[in-house]
Chain A
Amino acid sequence: MNTIFESLQQFLQYTGFASMTYKHAIMIFIGIVFIYLAIKKDWEPLLLIPIGFGMIIGNIPFVPGLNIGIYEEGSVMNILYQGVQTGWYPPLIFLGIGAMTDFSALISQPRLMLIGAAAQIGIFGAYVIALHMGFTPAEAGAIGIIGGADGPTAIFLSSKLAPHQMGAIAVSAYSYMALVPVIQRPIMLLLTTKKERLIRMAPPRQVSQKEKIIFPIVGFILTAMIVPSGMPLLGMLFFGNLLKESGVTKRLAETARGPLIDVVTILIGITVGCSTQADEFLTGDSVKIFLLGLLSFVIATMCGVLFVKFMNLFCKEGRKINPLIGNAGVSAVPDAARVSQNVGREFDKNNHLLMHAMAPNVAGVIGSAVAAGILLSFLG
């Protein structure tokens, strides 16, 4: 009888309830909130559901030594986490993004590419502020990249520069990407006049198949030559696009933008969520990272909108750019472009800005990969 009680007591000590702390409970609650927002509000469900559930998995308390935790070498979750740690999931996501993105809007209006460059100032604005808040340059670089609004890039860079903060950075990046409509709209309205919001842009010209094929080849050679450290992301992005546009690798393109990106998204989401273990995640630094991430997003959006206004000073009448597409310079594709479209239509129902906004939006993807490459070459 005594042995039964001892065994039962021993078993109870092994349960999650015995080791549960308030921190675990908070993290599990945040995970449930993520799942709620994804289902109820439709905010980035493909990411928030895996991340949210991953948070719940990662915060079930257990007795160390069972080889089940994400940080225990050789455990299943640890093996899956290698793709995040060594940084090979993000380039695979970029391959899928390249294979599903139509760069026609950018090819037909190359001047809009500069908006994508201006929005990257948010990354470096947050970098400077993070330095002054006491983070090391490597940590500040990893935090700043949240402003690029590109989850895979944020994971790629933080896995190299600040792996101990990757959980907070990734969750922050994906959370703000989901909140793009909430964050960007008031900034866009604040920085534009009613007259500017009504600017109608000429429809983009037709782009030939030849141009679409040349685009990824020339784009990759030029950007990778300038920033070789960004090669894994840029190479996969442009390679994916070549698969799509070549017209002869339909099966490969479909795999890259379909099953492959889906599998990697599941793995990246669940492992990033799982990596947010309460002891590591619920710290003062994580709160600072969330604040800096928000700031980075705000600066990026402001710079994009203001840069369009600056460009308009040099544009002739009829060639002016609607500053409502400036927000799309961050690389949250296509959410940021959708925000431009929706805000534009609030003031003129027949003004469709989506196609125009897609140009800075995809330029933002290239820009943030270039920015990550630069930070890696300085600090990596």
Chain B
Amino acid sequence: MNPFMILQASESVMVKSAEMAEKDPHGAIITLVSVSVVFTALIILYFAYTFIGKLSSGEMKFRWPERKKAETKVKGKSPEGEVAAAIALALDQEMNGEVYAAISMALHQYLNDTVHDNESYIITIKRKR
């Protein structure tokens, strides 16, 4: 047995290699095609992951027409006041105290984002006489 017999390339490799040596002796064609394919593959991945990333981070959103309508409807009702009232009612039934009314008021203000004053950001100093 020839111990190095197993170290030869398969027949198809030898045939293809010989064909390639004839068709593309300088390797320019295989290089151009291969580099283009590698770039194409990774550019496609780039677009795919950019798209998936945008979807995932919320930069890009699918909005179905029906869902959009439903969202508008809810927005139109301005639920914050009702939520606060419902909380107040629930707390009132539970404990019947003024403290809970205050909590519900605070929640109402928080939900409407009216907790903070709007400052003018202009600082004036008056000399005390």
Q: Which residues of A contact B (CB under 8 A)?
A: 64, 69, 71-73, 85, 106-108, 110-111, 113-114, 116-117, 120-121, 123-125, 127-128, 131-132, 136-140, 160-164, 166, 205, 207-208, 210-211, 214-215, 218-219, 222-223, 226-227, 280, 363, 366-367, 370-371, 374-375, 378-380
Which residues from chain B contact A375 at a C-beta distance below 8 Å? Answer: 30, 34
| Interface bracket on B | 35 or more
Compute how far the CA of A215 lies from the CA of B53 in the bound complex, rounded to whole angstroms: 10
Compute how far the CA of A226 lies from the CA of B34 in the bound complex, rounded to whole angstroms: 12
Compute how far the CA of A370 lies from the CA of B34 in the bound complex, rounded to whole angstroms: 9
> Is the Cβ of A226 less than 8 Å from the Cβ of B13?
no
Of residues 19 to 68 in B, which have CB atoms within 8 Å of A's CB atoms?
20-21, 24-28, 30-31, 33-35, 37-50, 52-53, 56-57
Compute how far the CA of A356 lies from the CA of B73 in the bound complex, rounded to whole angstroms: 45
Which 7 A/B pairs are nearest by Cβ-Cβ distance? A138-B17, A71-B3, A110-B49, A124-B31, A137-B20, A117-B42, A128-B27
B56 in complex: contacting residue of A110, A210, A226, CB < 8 Å = A210
> Is the Cβ of A226 less than 8 Å from the Cβ of B41?
yes
Query: Is B12 interfacial (CB 8 A cutoff)?
Result: yes
> Is the Cβ of B16 less than 8 Å from the Cβ of A138?
yes
Compute how far the CA of A267 lies from the CA of B52 in the bound complex, rounded to whole angstroms: 39
Closest to A303 in B: B35
Given contacts A85-B6, A163-B8, A378-B20, contact A370 B46 (CB under 8 A): no
B40 in complex: contacting residue of A137, A166, A226, CB < 8 Å = A226
> Is the Cβ of B38 less than 8 Å from the Cβ of A367?
yes
Which residues from chain B contact A116 at a C-beta distance below 8 Å? Answer: 42
> Is the Cβ of A205 less than 8 Å from the Cβ of B13?
no
Query: Is B14 interfacial (CB 8 A cutoff)?
Result: yes
Quote the shortest CB–CB distance from B56 to chain A (angstroms). 5
Of residues 53 to 107 in B, which have CB atoms within 8 Å of A's CB atoms?
53, 56-57
Quote the shortest CB–CB distance from A331 to chain B (angstroms). 12
Q: Which residues of B contact A (CB under 8 A)?
A: 1, 3-4, 6-10, 12-14, 16-18, 20-21, 24-28, 30-31, 33-35, 37-50, 52-53, 56-57
- A107-B52, A219-B45 known; 15 new pairs, CB 8 Å cut-off, are A71-B4, A107-B49, A110-B53, A128-B31, A131-B25, A136-B18, A137-B24, A138-B14, A207-B53, A208-B56, A211-B52, A214-B52, A223-B41, A374-B38, A379-B17
Quote the shortest CB–CB distance from A119 to chain B (angstroms). 10
> Is the Cβ of A121 less than 8 Å from the Cβ of B35?
yes
Choose among B10, B14, B33, B52 the residue with the greatest number of A CB atoms under 10 Å from its CB. B52
Compute how far the CA of A161 lies from the CA of B17 in the bound complex, rounded to whole angstroms: 9
Which residues from chain A contact B42 at a C-beta distance below 8 Å? Answer: 113-114, 116-117, 363, 366-367, 370
Compute how far the CA of A371 lies from the CA of B35 in the bound complex, rounded to whole angstroms: 8
> Is the Cβ of A69 less than 8 Å from the Cβ of B3?
yes
> Is the Cβ of B38 less than 8 Å from the Cβ of A380?
no
> Is the Cβ of A124 less than 8 Å from the Cβ of B35?
yes
> Is the Cβ of A226 less than 8 Å from the Cβ of B37?
yes
Closest to A85 in B: B6
Residue pairs across A and B with Cβ atoms less than 8 A apart, 8 shown, are A71-B6, A123-B34, A160-B10, A161-B9, A164-B7, A370-B37, A374-B38, A378-B20
Compute how far the CA of A35 lies from the CA of B31 in the bound complex, rounded to whole angstroms: 37
Compute how far the CA of A140 lies from the CA of B16 in the bound complex, rounded to whole angstroms: 13
Compute how far the CA of A222 lies from the CA of B46 in the bound complex, rounded to whole angstroms: 11
B31 in complex: contacting residue of A114, A127, A211, A226, CB < 8 Å = A127
> Is the Cβ of B53 less than 8 Å from the Cβ of A222?
no
Which residues from chain A contact B47 at a C-beta distance below 8 Å? Answer: 110
B35 in complex: contacting residue of A120, A132, A136, A160, CB < 8 Å = A120
> Is the Cβ of B13 less than 8 Å from the Cβ of A379?
yes
Closest to A116 in B: B42
